[in-house]
Each structure stands twice: as structure tokens, then as C-alpha cells.
Amino acid sequence: MEQISAAHRLTQVRLGIQGASRQAGREAADVTLIAVSKTQSAEAIAPLLEAGQRDFAENRVQEAAAKWPALRRLHPDIRLHLVGQLQSNKAEQAAELFDVIHSVDRLSLVTALIAAMERTGRRPRCFLQVNLAGETQKGGCLPDDLPDLLAAARDGGLVVEGLMCIPPAGLEPAPWFALLAELARRHDLTGLSMGMSGDYATAVMIGATHVRVGTALFGERVRAAA
């Protein structure tokens, strides 16, 4: 029963991405659907793996370390994304665990990731997270700080794929997505990690290359994610 409904939700979200892509004159294949599996058990994740989903995201290093090594042994082609704030002292563990880090947002973290890459030999791809509205409780660099952060990341050899944002809650997301797309264009970046369960179709129409979807795939989270 559970299995049928998870696969069904995956189909619905894929259709949503296809519809939005078609409306925008884009190829749905240019949009990566990332299933945000924070707080979800391996049992909840299994039906999505069986349905062919391979990109997953967590927001905490510890939780990912507990859940994903075993799942990866079963499915070595999984790509694991980190979408939560990363402490510099966990950079090395994050480099070992994750293929893509969406939350690079400050110089000290760039420095820690460069050192972690050297120590581990791993090269996770990175998105720089931008705090577009300057919300104090949220991660992300301020738009004014982006040029210096990007320069430091590129100089140090980080593979910067694009920009990531979480728009302010309760506001129309489209203008924020458009602003992120404009910032990316200005800096010759092609990746745009934006759009969640409530607004991924809007994000795709504005150019998202990576959408991060949790609730629409797994249902409501039982316990709160940090």
C-alpha cells in the first residue's frame, strides 16, 4: 500500500516538472528532482529507490551518516545532496558523504571544504546559498557578499555548479527565483537549486535545474527537521 502511494507521488511530481518544463519551453531532462529524505526512515525511502529515484538530500550530516552508507551499498549509483547548514568542523565528513553540497555560504566554510577535498580526495560539487531577503535566522550569504565568496571558491578549486535559495516564507516565491536566476547569469553559473514541494513548478518555469522536494514525495514529516 505504502509502496504504491510513494511511487504514485513520485509520478505526480515528475508530471508536474514535465508540465512546467513544457510551459517554459524547457526539457524536463534538464531538471534534477532531488527527493529530500530528512527524517524519513530507510523503509520510507526504499519505494522511491525501487521506482528509480536516485538523487536524495539530507539536511544534517549526522543523520546522513547513519542512513545512507547502507543504502548506497545496495544502490551505488545514488547521488546524495546536502541541503542544510554545514558547520566547518563537519566539512570533511560532508565531503566523504555527499556528492553535492547546496549550502556553501561563507568564506570559513569554503576554506574548510577546500582543505577537506585535499584530505579526502573527494570533490563534491557545490552550490552557493544566497540569503536573498537578508533573513537573520537563515543560512546563505548576502547578495553583496556573493562575488567574493564565488571568487574564493573558484580560486580554491571548488566545483561551483550554481546558486541555491530558500525564499522567505509566506511571500510569492517567483520574484525571488527570478532574482537568483539573474544573479547566476551575472556570474556565469548555470545551476539553480530552487523550488520545494509548494513551489517547484514555479521554480522550473523560472529556470530551476535542481528542485528539492520532500513533503510532496514522502507526505508530511512526522518529526520536525532541525
Ligand X SMILES: *Cc1c(COP(=O)(O)O)cnc(C)c1O
Name the site residues for ligand X (rule: CB under 6 A): 36, 38, 59, 83-84, 166, 196-197, 212-216, 225
Grid coordinates representing 111 are: 576554506
CB of 148 to ligand X, least distance (A): 23
Q: How far is the CB of 87 from ligand X (least distance, A)?
A: 16
Helix (H) or strand (E) run with residue 126 in it: strand 125-129
Nearest residue to 125 (alpha-carbon basis) of 165, 153, 151, 84: 153
Q: Quick one: 148 or 215, whose CB is closer to ligand X?
A: 215
The residue type at 140? G
Cα-Cα-Cα-Cα dihedral sign, residues 26, 83, 159, 162: positive
Q: Which is nearer to ligand X, 141 or 196 (CB)?
A: 196
- CA nearest neighbour of 103 among 118, 120, 81, 133: 81
The set of cell numbers assigned to 139 is: 543560512
Nearer to ligand X, 113 or 196 (CB): 196
- The rounded distance, in Å, linking the Cα atoms of 166 and 131 is 7
CB of 47 or CB of 214, closer to ligand X: 214
CA distance 160 to 50: 31
User: Least Å distance between CB 25 and ligand X?
Assistant: 25
Minimum CB distance to ligand X smaller for 59 or for 209: 59
Give residues with Cβ within 8 angstroms of 65, minimum separation 6.
93, 97
- Compute the least distance from the CB of residue 205 to ligand X, in Å: 17
Q: What is the CA radius of gyration of the chain?
A: 17
* Closest approach of ligand X to the CB of residue 119, in Å: 26
Measured from the CB atom, the residue of 104 and 213 that comes closer to ligand X is 213
* Shortest Å distance, C-beta 38 to ligand X: 6
Residue nearest ligand X by beta-carbon distance: 214
Burial of 132 (0-12, 13-18, 19+ CB in 10 A): buried
At its nearest, how many Å lie between ligand X and the CB of residue 73?
A: 25
Query: Please, which residue, 148 or 172, has the CB nearer to ligand X?
Result: 172
**Which one, of 42, 95, 25, lies nearest residue 218 by Cα?**
42
